[in-house]
Each structure stands twice: as structure tokens, then as C-alpha cells.
Amino acid sequence: MAEPKTGELMEKIVSLCKRRGLIFQSSEIYGGLNGFWDYGPLGAELKRNIKEHWWRSMTQLRDDVVGLDASIIMHPKIWEASGHTSTFSDLMVDCLLTKKRFRADQIEPQSGMAYFYTGATDSGSGRASKDAFSVLIATGKHADYARKVARQFYQQRGLENPSLEGERTEAQANTTRYNPENGSLLTEPRPFNLMLKTYVGPVESADNISYLRPETAQAIFVQFKSALEVSRQRVPFGICQVGKAFRNEINPRNFTFRSREFEQMELEFFIRPDEVVQKMCGAVAGLSDCPPGALVPQPNWGWELWHKYWVEQRIQWYESIGLGRDTLVEYWQKKEELAHYAKATVDILYKFPFGTQELEGVAARGDFDLTQHQKFSGKSMEYFDEEAKAKYVPHVIEPSAGVDRLTLALICNAYCEDQAPDEKGNLETRVVMRFHPRIAPIKVAVFPLLKNKPELVKKAREVRELLRPHMTVFYDEAGAIGRRYRRQDEAGTPFGVTIDFDTLGEQNAARQDTVTLRDRDTMKQERVKIADLVPLLREKIQ
Ligand code: GAP
């Protein structure tokens, strides 16, 4: 089949998300709220499976990582210490005509002819405006367009019928000073803090301002000492957290990709500073000492190898839920792109239909955060390392992933159209969500072949009850069996179990208590004993 174009593909995915209850616009009946999304019945299961799989892999299956579940609103000083109050901002620009706000770095460079005006007068009322204005129009476009836009600008300043003054033109190449939607001049870029503010307590005053956390990471840093003490961990070790974060994004876009409320899955992994490793081991192993094959942590590892190790761990984790390496890009940020606290950052990007974009950042943050909190709180963040016989502030490697972005990536990755025979054997287009069984919202669907045969229905319900304690099961008896398969293909259910007359042993006693097990992707069916279903399916979904 011909591949759908990227815009078309995204439209199909968004429409399927709504139709099948994966993702809904938040507050839809009131017209929606830009940058906020709700997950429907299938989406809620999918997201849960992602978070649970991450949590299990990051903490429960490791000895060296513990979990945390911190509050969303924390002491405002935390955000001063972390630098969010002063620096967590994007440069924004406003359209002088429509007041629409854009992120300055998202304005596409444009070329054309700019028309400048020094002001305008209105002969009827005698009013005048001395506000300068400018409009960019594409080369070859008539000057009247620029004049029309300029007149609108002065009309907004109270001039009913403005005569434009001081018109002059100048060719522009690759400028980002104009609104690409209407050519109007934009304001100068200015910083806009992305933290969402609220007030804690009954008084709305500057003293009571608090913020909804813009990342889950800072709670981990401020609880570093407490978590360390109670868990009896030793450096190197990590603390991880899954939870909501909020950013007042200027331009939420690309469906759920850039939202104002989203969830993060973050690990702060604390390691020895290189100087301590040097003293303890005599030398620090770095990237040039990277052994071939799988990386296994060693006491002589410096931050570079720990960083590489976590990048590799994270990519392997993505593979384990069906995002192959060919769908991902490992992008090493250039020096000039690094955040002020980072020694190195690798962005793990996914090839979305709308472009290759970040899923996760793996940053080597040095001791920036713990040192800042030590300074601002006056509480020591030092750790005494018995093995190294040294006291130090640990350094940090931070793999930080977005749950919603990953959910969207998995939906895009799963979406597939192929050909399948209909009831009469004619080929028709089938939409199938090829979710990895580990994260699929529903693991298995159970169907009685016919709903008007009580023995089939009874047996099918028994099978549902057998499977239910072990996995999410969907029972469906409505409509032709082929239609029921299609519905589950679209929901991404990897397995279908059909109870037919053979199950009842009516035609062949040897087949009694067997069912057909259908594979969503190959559409192949095999005959399986009911007694074998649980172990067989559990193996496939774990
Ligand atoms: N503690 C580090 C940190 O927060 P970040 O790169 O700003 O780093 C980490 O965010 C991850 O959180 C991103 O890779 C992305 O997956 C997710 N994320 C960030 N902003 C988001 C937004 N506005 N909407 C959805 N996900 C977002």
C-alpha cells in the first residue's frame, strides 16, 4: 500500500485516537483548553502500562535505584535554587496586529519586501498615530496587501480611515521579525517564564506565590539525603520518580507532543566525582576506555562512562516496548546547545510523522543541583563514602523522559494500514495498531463464535474469568466474528481467543476445551488448550 503523506498520517492518527478513546481534547464540550489532553479508556491503560513498565525496569528490577513520589507544589525557594525562577523561560514575540504569541525560535525565516511606515493620520477626526509599523510581503505580491495590513494596524489605534505616512521599502532575506501568517511586524523577543503560578493558602499575595513543578527532578534532589538514609543505598545509586509536570508553553503543538500539563519519568543517578574515582582507583575510565559489547558498571568509571551507560540502557528500554533503533536517533548536543548545568546531554529522538523530535534527554548534570540546594537551604548535601574514604557532593546522570511524548510515539509507531479479507473473502483495508504486547492497552479479546448459542457464551465467559486475574481482557459477542477481530485490531489487542463448536467437543472430542488463538499482526490462528492459555499469554505479554 502507498504510505500516507505525513500530514495525512497525523490526521488519521488523531482521528483514531478520538474514535477509539485513546486521547481526547481536554474540556472538549466547552471548546477545549489548548495544551491539555485527556486519555480515554484505551489511552489510560496504555499510559499506565508505559509507566508501570518504566517503574519496574528502573527500580524493581535493579538493586541500585529507589523510588519517590513527591508533591507537585513545593517550597518556592527550590525554584530559585534550581534556576527556574530566573532562567526557565522561552523568548517570545507578539504579533503587533493580532497579538498572537509565538516562540521566537519557532518563527520560520522569511524573505521578501518589507514596507515601513512612520505613522498615520485620520483626516476625518484629525487624529494621528506616530507608532512605527512594518509589513513583510512575498516578492512579487502587490504593495496594496502591505498597505491593507498597515491600515488595520492604525485602525486598531483609533484611526477610522488612516492615511499611511512615510512609506519606504527594503528587501529582507531570512528575517524572523514578521508574523508568517499575516506579514505584520512582531515585537522584540522577550523572555517569558514557563512556570505556572498559584497561591498557597487563603491570601493571594506575592508572599504566597508557589509554582506547579515544571519538572519532577528537583524533588529528588531536595529529598536526596532522606532517601539515601532510609534506603541504605550507597553511591553510585539512583532515585526515580514518575509524575505530573506543568509548563505554560507559549505554543503547545503537534497534538500532545508539547503540552502544558504532562508527565515525566525521571531518574537522578548519583555517582562519585571523577577526582574521587581517581583517588580510589588510581585512574578514571572514560569513553576512550569503553569496552566492546554491553556496558557493565565498574568502580573505576568516570561520569562519561556512566552517561554512556544510561544512554544505552534507555535505548534498550525503548526497544523492549517496540521502538526499534531505526525509529530513534541518538543526538549528542553540541557544546553551545548545552544547558548551563550540563557537561553533556544526549537527546533520544523519535521519528514522528511531523519530524524527528525529542523523547528523552540524558544529561550529565555534575553536582550543580545538589550544590545549589546546599547553598540555598543551608543543609549539607555531602555524602561520606566509606569505600573511597572521602566526603563529597555526588554528581548526577539524569535520564528524563516524557510519558505523553512516548505514548504519542508508540501510537504513531503502532499505526498501520494493511489488507485483510472481509466476510466474503474480498480484500479490504485494515487499520491495525501494532502495539508491543507489553504495553498494549488490552492484551486479549475473548469471543464466543455466536452469541445466540448459550453453551458457547457460557464457555467464553469462563475463559474470560480464567484470564482476567492475569491480564486485561475484553469480551465481545456483538456482530460477525470478522468485524469483532477488526475492532480489536484497531484497539491494538495483540491476541484474540475464539470459542467455537470444537471447544465444546461437538465435532471432534480431541478438540474439546481447545480454542483458536489469533495473532493480531499475522492474523494466523492456532489451536490451543484452554489450560495452556494463561502461561502461553503471560509469556508473550511480560
Ligand atoms: N529534568 C530535566 C528536564 O525536565 P526537559 O528536556 O525539559 O528536561 C524532559 O524535559 C522530558 O520531558 C522531555 O524529553 C519530554 O519528553 C518531556 N517534556 C518536556 N516538556 C514537555 C511538554 N511541554 N510536553 C510534553 N512533554 C514534555
Position 44 scores a pLDDT of: 98
322 backbone φψ class: left, alpha, beta (φ>0; ψ -120 to 50): left
Q: If you measure from the C-alpha of residue 408 to the centroid of ligand 1, how many angstroms do you get, rounded to a whole number?
A: 14
Of the candidates 362, 361, 354, the one whose C-alpha atom is nearest the C-alpha of residue 409 is: 354
Q: If you measure from the C-alpha of residue 40 to the centroid of ligand 1, how many angstroms do you get, rounded to a whole number?
A: 22
Does the C-beta of 46 come closer than 6 Å to ligand 1?
no
Instruction: Give the CA dihedral 227, 231, 237, 241, nearest 10 degrees.
Output: -50
Best of 405, 406, 408 for a ligand 1 pocket test (most atoms within 8 Å of beta carbon): 405
Q: Which atom of ligand 1 is nearest to the CA of 360?
A: 14
8 Å CB contact between 353 and 6: yes
Position 425 scores a pLDDT of: 82
CA distances from 327 to 315, 356, 357, 363 (A): 11, 9, 11, 21
Burial class (CB in 10 A: 0-12, 13-18, 19+), 94: middle
Interacting residues of 282 by C-beta distance below 8 A, sequence separation 6+: none
Does the C-beta of 153 come closer than 6 Å to ligand 1?
no
Low-confidence ranges of the chain (pLDDT < 50): 1
Q: What is the DSSP string of 161-215?
A: SPEEES-EEEEEEEE-SB-TTT-BBBPPPEEEE-PEEEE-SS--SGGGEEEE-S-
283 backbone φψ class: left, alpha, beta (φ>0; ψ -120 to 50): beta
Q: Which atom of ligand 1 is nearest to the CA of 252?
A: 23
Does the C-beta of 129 come closer than 6 Å to ligand 1?
no
Q: If you measure from the C-alpha of residue 395 to the centroid of ligand 1, how many angstroms do you get, rounded to a whole number?
A: 21
Q: If you measure from the C-alpha of residue 433 to the centroid of ligand 1, how many angstroms do you get, rounded to a whole number?
A: 26
Does the C-beta of 302 come closer than 6 Å to ligand 1?
no
Map residue 466 onto helix, strand or coil.
helix
Q: If you measure from the C-alpha of residue 318 to the centroid of ligand 1, how many angstroms do you get, rounded to a whole number?
A: 17
Tell me: the pLDDT tens digits for 320-329? 999 999 999 9
Query: Please, what is the angle between helix 41-55 and helix 403-414, to 10°?
Result: 110
Does the C-beta of 249 come closer than 6 Å to ligand 1?
yes
Position 420 scores a pLDDT of: 87
Best of 254, 262, 407 for a ligand 1 pocket test (most atoms within 8 Å of beta carbon): 262
Quote the DSSP letter at residue 285. Answer: B
Q: If you measure from the C-alpha of residue 46 to the centroid of ligand 1, how many angstroms do you get, rounded to a whole number?
A: 19
12 backbone φψ class: left, alpha, beta (φ>0; ψ -120 to 50): alpha
Quote the DSSP letter at residue 57. Answer: I
- Name which residue sits closest to atom 21 of ligand 1, judged by CA: 258
Does the C-beta of 359 come closer than 6 Å to ligand 1?
yes
Burial class (CB in 10 A: 0-12, 13-18, 19+), 158: exposed
Map residue 118 onto helix, strand or coil.
coil
Give bridge partners of residue 170 from the DSSP assignment.
114
Q: Which atom of ligand 1 is nearest to the CA of 264?
A: 12
Position 2 scores a pLDDT of: 52
Other C-beta atoms closer than 10 Å to the C-beta of 310 total: 21
Does the C-beta of 313 come closer than 6 Å to ligand 1?
no
Q: Which residue has the cell 494596524?
A: 153
Map residue 416 onto helix, strand or coil.
strand
**Amino acid present at 393:** V
Torsion sign (Cα): 399, 404, 407, 412: negative
8 Å CB contact between 95 and 151: no
Does the C-beta of 314 come closer than 6 Å to ligand 1?
no
Q: If you measure from the C-alpha of residue 120 to the centroid of ligand 1, how many angstroms do you get, rounded to a whole number?
A: 46
Interacting residues of 145 by C-beta distance below 8 A, sequence separation 6+: 135, 137, 183
Q: What is the DSSP string of 340-404?
A: TT-SEEEEEEEEETTEEEEEEEEEEEETHHHHHHHHHH-----EEETTTTEEEPPEEEEEEEEHH
Q: How far apart are CA 332 and CA 335, in angstroms?
A: 9
Position 369 scores a pLDDT of: 97
Q: Which atom of ligand 1 is nearest to the CA of 406?
A: 16
Position 237 scores a pLDDT of: 98
Map residue 66 onto helix, strand or coil.
strand
8 Å CB contact between 328 and 388: no
Q: How far apart are CA 415 and CA 406, in angstroms?
A: 14
Of the candidates 142, 104, 49, the one whose C-alpha atom is nearest the C-alpha of residue 472 is: 49
Position 3 scores a pLDDT of: 59
Does the C-beta of 247 come closer than 6 Å to ligand 1?
yes
Position 251 scores a pLDDT of: 86
Q: If you measure from the C-alpha of residue 370 to the centroid of ligand 1, how many angstroms do you get, rounded to a whole number?
A: 20
Q: How far apart are CA 203 and CA 182, in angstroms?
A: 43
For the chain, the C-alpha Rg in angstroms (whole number) is 29
**Amino acid present at 381:** M
Best of 23, 240, 400 for a ligand 1 pocket test (most atoms within 8 Å of beta carbon): 400
Position 7 scores a pLDDT of: 84
Give bridge partners of residue 196 from the DSSP assignment.
212
Q: If you measure from the C-alpha of residue 246 to the centroid of ligand 1, how many angstroms do you get, rounded to a whole number?
A: 10
Best of 26, 215, 329 for a ligand 1 pocket test (most atoms within 8 Å of beta carbon): 215
